[in-house]
Structure formats: C-alpha cells, structure tokens
Amino acid sequence: MALLTLAEAKTQLQLTDTAAYDAELETYIDALTPVIERHTGPVESRTVTETVNAYGPLLALTQVPTVSLTSLTPVHSGGRAIAADEVALDGDAGVLRRLDGARFAGGPWVAVYVAGRDDIPPTINLAARLLLQHLWRTRYGAARGNPGGGEDFDVNEPIPGFGYAVPNRVLQLLESFKAPPGVA
C-alpha cells in the first residue's frame, strides 16, 4: 500500500495532463515516505529483520507499528526458535510477550516481522499530500504560474538530516501518530 498514489498526487496538484509529470511526481512521492515515516514510524508495510535483546518476559522491536511476527530465532546455536503463535504482539508498542509466561532466554534474537500499517490513515495521507504540494511549490514557484502555485507553507526550521523544512501544518497533522522516542 502506497503512502500516496500518483492519482492522488495529481489531484492534489490539480494536474490535468495525464503523463507529462508522471516520472517527476513518482520521484517526489518516493521522497515523501522517509520524511513522513521519520515522524510516524513505518507507514508502508515492509519486512524488517533485526537483532534484538530481550528483557525478561518482554522483547521490544524497533520498528512500530508492527503488523505481524514472522519468526524469532536465537542468534547463538543451541537455542530454540519461538514460533509466532507462541507470543502475543502489542503492535502499537512493538512488544512481544511469551504466552507461556517464560522469559526470552538464549538471545539475542533475530526477529523477522512486518512493520507498517494495514491501512494508511486519512490524516497521514493528507499530510503527505500537503508535503507534496509544498515541495512542488518550492520546485516550480508561484511566479511561473504552474499548478500548485501561491504562497509557500509556513515552516519553523529545517529538520536535521533533511535539506528542507517540513510545513507546520504537516507536522501538526502527524503529531497524533508520532513514534515513541528511540523508535523508527
């Protein structure tokens, strides 16, 4: 499931030409995902493989929300893999708990799981549309009279690691989906 489709991008930018901007828009759409996911954690579903440590009866995954667990195997030989149906997954927190109440012994563990969301919430989709509109405006500008022109969105400051600022209205929309500290 895509964060933003090409058709949604064209609608947001009021582009009526069916193919003239497609390749460029696809580049913009691809660039939106890491910016949005920096605030929300994974939005588009993806398989993640990572080595994690357990803390007693709990094991915390780093990419949340988590949709499902595929496998959980100890890094060191001699340990027993734990089947996905032997653990309870709190997907929002990315925390695994053994159903038998036992501790996660014999780790660290290699966890393979699907992170992201089954459905893209409309608020995140709108934030992606507004970010696209902002980026498109900074590329083409209102002075050239291109679609999406007009005043640029307000921004506070550039986000470290990204070469441009994210509009305040986008950050406000993403606030309720903000990933916990140390995650994503």
- Mean pLDDT value across the chain: 84
Q: Which two tokens stand for residue 88?
A: 């309870």
SS3 category, 81 = coil
**Beta sheet of 58-60, edge-to-edge order:** 54-55, 58-60, 95-98, 87-90
Q: Is 1 exposed, middle or buried (0-12, 13-18, 19+ CB in 10 A)?
A: exposed
- pTM comes to 0.76
pLDDT at site 181:
66
- Please choose, from the candidates 126, 127, 60, 118, the residue with its C-alpha nearest in 3D space to the C-alpha of residue 94: 60
What are the pLDDT digits (tens) for 111-149? 999 999 988 999 999 999 999 999 888 776 555 444 444
Q: Between 133 and 151, where is the model more confident? A: 133
Q: Which two tokens stand for residue 51?
A: 């080595």
pLDDT at site 104:
86
Q: How far is residue 94's CA from residue 41's CA, in Å, rounded to a whole number?
A: 11
